[in-house]
Amino acid sequence: MKLCHALAALCIACFAGLGCIQAVTLEVREGNSTCIKTELSATFAITYNTSSSTRTAQITLPNSTTVDTRSSSCGADGSPWLVGVFGSGHTLGLSFSTTGNQYNVANLTLQYNLSDTSVFPGANSSDVVTVVSASVGISAAINTTYRCLSPVTVEVGGASVTFSDMRLEAYMPGNDLSPAESVCAADKTTTTAPPTTASTTTTTPAPTTPPGTPDQGTYSLKNSNGTVCLLAQMGLQLNVTYLSQSQNKTVQELLNLTPNLTSSSGSCGAGNATLVLTQERITTLSFIFTSNSTSKKYHLSGVTLLANWSDMAVPFSASNTTLNYLQSTWGRSYKCKAEQTLAVVPTFSLNTFRLQVQPFGVTTDQFATAEECQMDQDQMLIPIIVGAALAGLVLIVLIAYLIGRKRSHAGYQTI
């Protein structure tokens, strides 16, 4: 009886100064033999429709991905299949074929479930969509491991899949990836950084030229009935540390989010609201606001960044859902004209300028009364304190003058 065994594990690739980038490991086995093994990172950009607009959802292949044992197979017909399942009904499938001397990915299949509101908020369909690409461009010599650390994007239907840090092999002679490698063209044009040893000194990330103050963008979300449920105005600047493909070292880059190139999406709820900003399908910044029904307060509890910039050696992903920024009262807006730096993770922080948000209790198309940040309050107090100090100094001078004048008169006697 045929037995297909599947294994999903986590592979960690670490770079100095960047932290660890997770790659999912998936295996397809038949009996005691492994026929397909992959180690890869993947991000998905999927375009979908809402009742009023078109949005783009960005997903990172999670380390909880497992192999679908019913669909995956070593292929009695010579065409093995690997199908990974993740999230609420999403799958990524790779089918292989061989010419005898080499193997290749014959088809890439992506299936996504539009009823998953955590990924596709406001989708006007609950269909399960399947898209297929027969032009993947992954091939290697038999009995070698295909290796491609560089990001490679495959267009499939209305979506794109970006692979990175990839090693895979099909038609395997053993249970481990072959030591001999077939290297992709992108890696051949990139010099690999030498490994870090105990004697190697860690260098500070090289900063880039500051881009200046970002323009203020205006963003809003609407409920299903068409009423505005979230308002936001802010200038946003991303401070990201990543491994540069061209410089072969860790760099620190400041990037301004450009409002006229940025689309907004998200969802509103009684206790949570999510605002997703996407710039040119290569940068997705998500905000999660949380409301406390007891205290009638809300705050920014989560920030996630997905980026695939041209010079990144691998796509960048950072997330923190335990934050406590931008605190205000339900039904009021939070306002901060001063520059703020919101630390998210060691490799990513967010600078905000001229910010005003209201994720809950929006009753009109305008912001409610604002609760101002401490920095704005301090800046308002400075002229008051200076004015009071000057007034006090004038009063002291005046009192001293009057006392001196009185004493001078006291020195004369009436004859």
Over residues 58-70, the mean pLDDT reads 89
Is residue 204 in some structural domain? Answer: no
Over residues 116-124, the mean pLDDT reads 90
The predicted pLDDT at position 366 comes to: 92
Q: Residue 206 — very low, low, confident or very high, per pLDDT cuts 50/70/90?
A: low
Is residue 174 in some structural domain? Answer: yes
- State the chain's mean pLDDT as an integer: 83
Do 164 and 236 reside in the same domain of the chain? no
Lowest mean pLDDT among 170-174, 257-261, 271-275, 299-303: 271-275
Residue-range definition of the domain harbouring residue 244: 217-373
Over residues 328-341, the mean pLDDT reads 92
Of the residues 167, 187, 207, which one is the last residue of a structural domain?
187
Write out pLDDT tens, residues 211-255: 889 999 999 998 878 889 999 999 999 999 998 888 888 899 999
Q: Which residue has the higher pLDDT, 186 or 109?
A: 109
Do 35 and 132 reside in the same domain of the chain? yes
Query: Is residue 342 predicted with pLDDT exceeding 80?
Result: yes
Q: How far is CA 376 from CA 232, 335, 354, 367, 382, in A?
A: 18, 9, 10, 18, 10
CA distance 78 to 35: 11
Over residues 358-369, the mean pLDDT reads 92
Q: Residue 382 — very low, low, confident or very high, per pLDDT cuts 50/70/90?
A: low
How open is the CA angle 21-178-61, to the nearest 5 degrees?
A: 30
Do 172 and 254 reside in the same domain of the chain? no
Lowest mean pLDDT among 117-131, 152-166, 242-256, 359-373: 152-166
Is residue 94 in some structural domain? Answer: yes
Do 173 and 232 reside in the same domain of the chain? no
The predicted pLDDT at position 378 comes to: 59
The predicted pLDDT at position 86 comes to: 94
Query: Is residue 277 predicted with pLDDT exceeding 50?
Result: yes
Q: Residue 407 — very low, low, confident or very high, per pLDDT cuts 50/70/90?
A: low
Q: How far is CA 154 from CA 80, 166, 231, 357, in A?
A: 20, 14, 35, 37
- Report how many domains make up the chain: 2
The predicted pLDDT at position 396 comes to: 86
Do 228 and 125 reside in the same domain of the chain? no
Do 118 and 248 reside in the same domain of the chain? no
Is residue 12 in some structural domain? Answer: no
Query: Is residue 340 predicted with pLDDT exceeding 50?
Result: yes
Q: What is the CATH number of the domain that holds 338?
A: 2.40.160.110
Do 128 and 245 reside in the same domain of the chain? no
Lowest mean pLDDT among 154-168, 289-303, 349-363, 377-391: 377-391
Query: Is residue 159 predicted with pLDDT exceeding 80?
Result: yes
Is residue 7 in some structural domain? Answer: no
Over residues 346-373, the mean pLDDT reads 92
Residues 6+ apart with CB under 8 A from 87: 59, 62, 113, 116, 119
Over residues 109-120, the mean pLDDT reads 92
The predicted pLDDT at position 371 comes to: 93
Is residue 395 in some structural domain? Answer: no
Lowest mean pLDDT among 45-59, 224-238, 341-355: 45-59
Do 229 and 175 reside in the same domain of the chain? no
Lowest mean pLDDT among 276-285, 370-379, 389-398: 370-379
DSSP string, 2-28: --EEEEEEEEEEEETTTEEEEEEEEEE
Residue pair 51/24 in contact by the 8 Å Cβ criterion = no
Is residue 212 in some structural domain? Answer: no
CA distance 40 to 26: 9
Q: Which tokens belong to 112?
A: 């996504």
The predicted pLDDT at position 408 comes to: 64
% of the chain exceeding 90 in pLDDT: 39
The predicted pLDDT at position 413 comes to: 53
Do 25 and 153 reside in the same domain of the chain? yes
The predicted pLDDT at position 10 comes to: 37
The predicted pLDDT at position 38 comes to: 95
Would you put residue 294 in left (φ > 0), alpha (ψ -120 to 50) or beta? alpha
Query: Is residue 153 predicted with pLDDT exceeding 90?
Result: no
Is residue 405 in some structural domain? Answer: no
Do 225 and 178 reside in the same domain of the chain? no
- If 0-12 CB within 10 Å is exposed, 13-18 middle and 19+ buried, where does residue 169 land? buried
The predicted pLDDT at position 81 comes to: 93
Q: Which of 244, 234, 238 is nearest to 203 (CA)?
A: 244
Do 96 and 232 reside in the same domain of the chain? no
Query: Is residue 162 predicted with pLDDT exceeding 90?
Result: no
% of the chain exceeding 70 in pLDDT: 85
The predicted pLDDT at position 280 comes to: 80
Do 235 and 150 reside in the same domain of the chain? no
